[in-house]
Amino acid sequence: MKPPLPSRSITVEGARHNNLKNVSVQIPVGAVTAITGVAGAGKSSLAFDILYAEGHRRYVETFSAYARQFLERLDRPKAERIEGVLPAVAIDRTAPVRSSRSTVGTMTSIADYLRALFARASQLTCARCGKPVVRATPSAIFERLVSEAPGQQALVTFALTSGKLSPTLLRESLARNGFQRVLENGEAVKLDAAALTADPVCVVLDRVRIDAHSRQRLIDSFEAALRWGHGSLTVQVEGKALTWSESLTCCGVTYPDPSAAMFSFNNPVGACESCRGFGRTMGIDPNLVVPDPRLSIKQGCLKPLQSPSYKECQDDLERFCRRAGIPLGTPWAELDDKTRAQIWDGEPDGRKDWKRKWYGVAGFFEWLEGRSYKMHVRVLLSRYRHYSAVHRLRRHAAQARGAALHGGGAYLACARGRDPHARRCVLFRVAAPPHGCRQHVAPR
């Protein structure tokens, strides 16, 4: 006789816990179910005191008596019958602590789980070459070489820092450890004939042909080279130097291990360099600088330059416009974007050579920032400042150092965005990566 199929729903009959008065419900399994109702209807009692308590209680009963003494024990719910219940996990509400940095993710602790998820499931990618950055292992190095350079002669080398050792002492030290050759000017030279003046010295550990028969010898040589080279080795094949490292290194840059702090905007490691985790920055608003775009430069469209104190800056602007062929009588709204950018940003090196070149509206405000110790300057700057949202995609702090951390083809920045479809994409693609996904070892 075949065992009965598991129930596809959870049945609760005669629940009488707290405000529940003989309630009977059926909850489908494998679906998202929301329990709604007015305050005091017993929503939390049904979810936590009935469903979670019974699922937890039955799960704990599957353990031995010795293990149960260390686990939390919940009372049996007050109900006539509960069937089809599964082992349960409850995420209860906590008293939220709000601050200027609080988001829905931080107040519900979802951000904490996402940080832990991306720190473990993300893939570090080098922004210079676009290849995944992974730690090199002897087996992975062999597989890479045997697929790209089969049958070729290879020199397994490592870099050794000589420090303050003289060539004579360095030669004796290498000979005592069994090394016979070093690499100088791309050629393997015996120790007796080597100059040993370079620092570091490239020591030849093994010369071997790359094929399947030499697998164990190559792997042993790679392990020894990584040990002597402090986690780094170089293989010379066909005149090319291929370098691998046990650390997260690519294109000559070493990256730190992914951590949850990298994905936290409340942590200096993961905070945006522009907004420091607040999501907005304070800067000069062009709409406040040019309140009436119908005016021309001659008519004084740039408001901060019209005061008697800064009339000299208005004269500098008009001289620049005459040199650059910018019409002074054209309204600001009719100027093209390139012309506006020239006026706003100024000429190259204009902020250094401000007596002969136009330093730009941005340079004018930068000069004011240097004089903000004066009260009237601070008041003037406050008239043209405003907070704006950071629209630049902020992936994480490691990207600023030349890397990007991907999770299932998506970024954590998308998970903290406003688009609900992006959030769903992140969660599902990280949880279910493509089948057959392999890690590639890329040389530096």
Write the pLDDT tens digit of every residue in 404-444.
555 544 445 444 444 444 433 344 344 444 333 333 344 44
Asked whether residue 93 carries a pLDDT value surpassing 80, the answer given is no
Asked whether residue 86 carries a pLDDT value surpassing 80, the answer given is yes
CATH class name, domain 281-389: mainly alpha
Model confidence at 288, pLDDT cuts 50, 70, 90, reads very high
pLDDT at residue number 12: 92
Model confidence at 13, pLDDT cuts 50, 70, 90, reads very high
Q: What whole-number percentage of the chain has pLDDT above 70?
A: 84
More confident residue, 428 or 297: 297
Q: Is 331 helix (H, G, I), strand (E, B) or coil?
A: strand
Asked whether residue 294 carries a pLDDT value surpassing 90, the answer given is yes
pTM for the model: 0.49
Q: What is the mean pLDDT of residues 9-26?
A: 90
Write the pLDDT tens digit of every residue in 211-250.
888 889 999 999 998 888 888 888 988 878 888 888 888 7
| Distance between CA atoms of residues 350 and 366, nearest Å | 12
pLDDT at residue number 356: 84
> Contact at 8 Å (CB) between 58 and 40?
no
| CATH 3.30.190.20 intervals, the chain | 136-246
Options 1.10.760.10, 1.20.1580.10, 3.20.20.80, 2.40.70.10; CATH for 94-130+254-278+398-444 is 1.20.1580.10
What is the average pLDDT score of the chain?
A: 79
More confident residue, 385 or 95: 385
Write the pLDDT tens digit of every residue in 354-373.
888 888 898 999 999 888 89
Write the pLDDT tens digit of every residue in 148-204.
888 888 888 888 887 778 888 888 888 888 888 888 887 888 888 888 878 888 888
Transcribe 213-248 into DSSP letters: GGHHHHHHHHHHHHHHTTSEEEEEETTEEEEEESSS
Q: Which of 306, 314, 380, 312 is nearest to 343 (CA)?
A: 314
Phi, psi dihedrals of residue 28, rounded to the nearest 5°: -65, 145
Write the pLDDT tens digit of every residue in 108-164.
778 888 888 888 877 788 877 878 888 888 888 898 888 888 888 888 888 888 777
| Distance between CA atoms of residues 135 and 244, nearest Å | 8
Asked whether residue 19 carries a pLDDT value surpassing 80, the answer given is yes
pLDDT at residue number 415: 44
| CATH 1.10.8 intervals, the chain | 281-389
Phi, psi dihedrals of residue 377, rounded to the nearest 5°: -70, -40
The mean-pLDDT minimum among 7-11, 102-106, 292-296 falls in 102-106
Task: Give the CA distances from residue 36 to residues 20, 32, 189, 329, in Å, rounded to whole numbers and listed in that order.
Answer: 14, 13, 80, 65
| CATH 1.20.1580.10 intervals, the chain | 94-130+254-278+398-444
Annotation: CATH topology of 136-246: Ribulose 1,5 Bisphosphate Carboxylase/Oxygenase (3.30.190)
Q: Which of 196, 206, 192, 195 is nearest to 237 (CA)?
A: 206
More confident residue, 73 or 438: 73
